[in-house]
Structures are given as C-alpha cells and as structure tokens.
Copies of this chain bind each other. A is one copy, B any other.
Amino acid sequence: MPFQDFDTITLGHGGGGKLTQKLLEKGVFSLLNNDWLNSQGDAANLFLNGEYAFSTDSFVVSPIIFPGGTIGDLAVNGTINDLAVSGAAPIYLSLSFILEEGLPMNQFWEILVSIRDACIRTGVKVVTGDTKVVEKGKGDKIFINTTGIGKIHPKARLSMKNIRSGDKILLSGAPARHGVTIMSKRQGLEFETTLTSDTRPLHEICQQLLDEFGNSVRFMRDPTRGGVATVLHDVVRQTGLGIEIHENSLPLENEVAGACEMLGLDPLFVANEGLFVCIVNHEISENCLRTLHSWENGSQASIIGEIVDEHPGGVLLHSKIGGKRMLPQASGELLPRIC
C-alpha cells in the first residue's frame, strides 16, 4: 500500500489541492493507469461510432468487504452487467468515490486493487473519475458510483415490448448467493457458511447469446435488488402479460436454501450480482439453455417458466407439491444496502 503518510482518509483528501493530488496519483492513477486518466482532464475524450448503451449505478453495500468481493469489484461488475443485459459490450467506465473521513487507508487500497483487478479481468477501462470526502458520521466508509458506456451488439433487439406469450424464461444459475452472503456477514453468521457473493461480469455470455440467437433473445435483466421476483414483476407490469414459473425447475443450492431459512428470506426476493434472467422465443429455448450450460458459471442454468396470456400482470408459482400461488411483489426494503 503506497499511502505511508496517512492511516485514514481525511477531509483534506477531498479538497482538490495537494492532498487530493497525492491520493489520486499514488492510489487511483497508478493502479488504473491509462492515457485518459493520466491526462487528468475534466473529462475523457472518446471516439465513438454507432449504437451505445449508457448506464449508472451507485453502490452503498455494507459491509464494504465481504466473502467473494468488495464494494469495488461489485461496482465495476454491477455496471458492466447493466450494460451486458442491455446487449452491450462494456468499454468505458467512470468511477466516483464518496469517502467518509476516517476510512482506513488499507481498506481503501484493498478496494482500489479489487477495482483494478475487475477492470483487467473484463478489459473495461476506467477513463474518468471523481473523489469527494464527507465528515465522519455523514457517510458510511465509502460509496462508489460507476457509469458505463458499451457498444450494442448489432443483432441485439432487446426490449420488453418484444416479449410474446409462449416465450420461455431462463435463469442463468442458482439465485440468492450475493444477498445471503451479505446478510450472513452482517448477522455474524459468516463462519457457519462457506458462501461467497456471486459478483462476476456477465457481458461475455450475454454477447454470446446474441451472437447465436440474435433477436430470438427478447429481453435480459440481472436480478439485483429485489431479486428474481422483482424482475418477473417488472415484466408483467410493463407487458400486461402473465408469467408462470415452476418451483421444481428453480436451481437452488443447498447452502443458500439453508441460509435463507435461517435468515427468514425467500431466495426469489434476494439480490444477485452474477445472475441474469433471459426471456427467449420458445423455439430456441433448449439451444439457449445448452449455451448457458456450456458457460463456466452456467452449470445450474434452467428454464424456470414461460410467458402466458392468463392472469395478466401476475406471476403464478407452481409449487413443488403441486399447489399454485401468485408471487407477491416486494414492497418496502427487504435487505437494505445489499448493493
């Protein structure tokens, strides 16, 4: 860690003067080293040509370091995934910190390193940024905004408007890992599990699906806050169609299921950070599932349901024991500050 002069972030690191300069040069620029950042302009100059996706997310997860990740790689992967499910290959990110006075420098460094690593893994470049510091008690260690630009796949025709009755709903893996990991850590239960967050980038598999299936892929979304159930409710609300899902087909890991019971959570409502819902023309659904299975993180991918004309605006769950119930919509805050 290159910050020998300070143990913690101080208000001075947000002042725009010498201290800010030092923090940026020793920390951010040296790690995320590229021509755009090194030029230290007010903006990065980009050459763009064609159709692009543009997405923003502020990350306030607590704790800031958790099994499987930090708020830093979560912020990189999270915005990458919003671009990915919009059919875009992510290219550029902006990165903006709101630091609380007193944040230990070694924690900030660990987060910066995780950001650097996530950028290397994905090939995405942080090209512009900002750092602010607020007084102790006016923030919570670190909040991160990432905003991204990605090039839209030429075959992508992703829109809820394209969803039709009969379309199949695929889930790329087992749900609820991220939320359950964070909640376990908060409740001091992390030593009873080996669960880690599923934070990971999804752009490669999303691009592959578009390569192979083009506009037969109707819609994709990553079920973060509010979980899979919230994505399904968004779909029925905006399309006016209905959804049926089958509990039998829902991939669920034993450890996640156990932790959910212990924590009193329904895995369908728990946040994910490396999962996506994909709605496709039923004719290609089995091929699409095969592609997902061939993906290194897709062994548990499953067709979990279909779009129907019945019960418009509603999501019907066929339970394991043969019952049926309408899935409620998440109302208030289930798991505050999960991402």
- Which A residues contact B (CB, under 8 angstroms)? 10-20, 39-60, 62, 82-83, 85-86, 88, 92, 94-98, 127-130, 132-135, 137-140, 143, 145, 147-150, 152, 159, 221-222, 224-226, 230, 234, 238, 329-337
What is the CA–CA distance of A37 and B10 in the complex, to the nearest angstrom?
37
**In the complex, what's the smallest C-beta–C-beta distance from A135 to chain B, in angstroms?**
7
- Choose one: B147, B222, B226; the contact of A147 (CB below 8 Å): B147
Residues of B within 8 A of A238 (CB): 40
What is the CA–CA distance of A241 and B336 in the complex, to the nearest angstrom?
51
With A85-B42, A88-B43 in contact, do A58 and B96 touch (Cβ < 8 Å)? yes
Q: Can you list 16 A-B contacts with CB-CB less than 8 angstroms, sorted by A residue number? A: A10-B332, A10-B333, A12-B331, A40-B238, A42-B222, A44-B55, A45-B53, A47-B50, A54-B92, A54-B94, A60-B132, A133-B333, A137-B137, A138-B140, A139-B143, A149-B149
**In the complex, what's the smallest C-beta–C-beta distance from A160 to chain B, in angstroms?**
8
Residues of B within 8 A of A135 (CB): 336-337
Closest to A86 in B: B43
Copies of this subunit: 2
A128 in contact with B334 (CB, 8 Å): no
- Choose one: B20, B58, B335; the contact of A130 (CB below 8 Å): B58
Closest to A143 in B: B98
What is the CA–CA distance of A47 and B54 in the complex, to the nearest angstrom?
10
Residues of B within 8 A of A52 (CB): 45-48
A50 in contact with B51 (CB, 8 Å): no
Residues of B within 8 A of A10 (CB): 332-333
Residues of B within 8 A of A159 (CB): 39, 41
Closest to A223 in B: B16
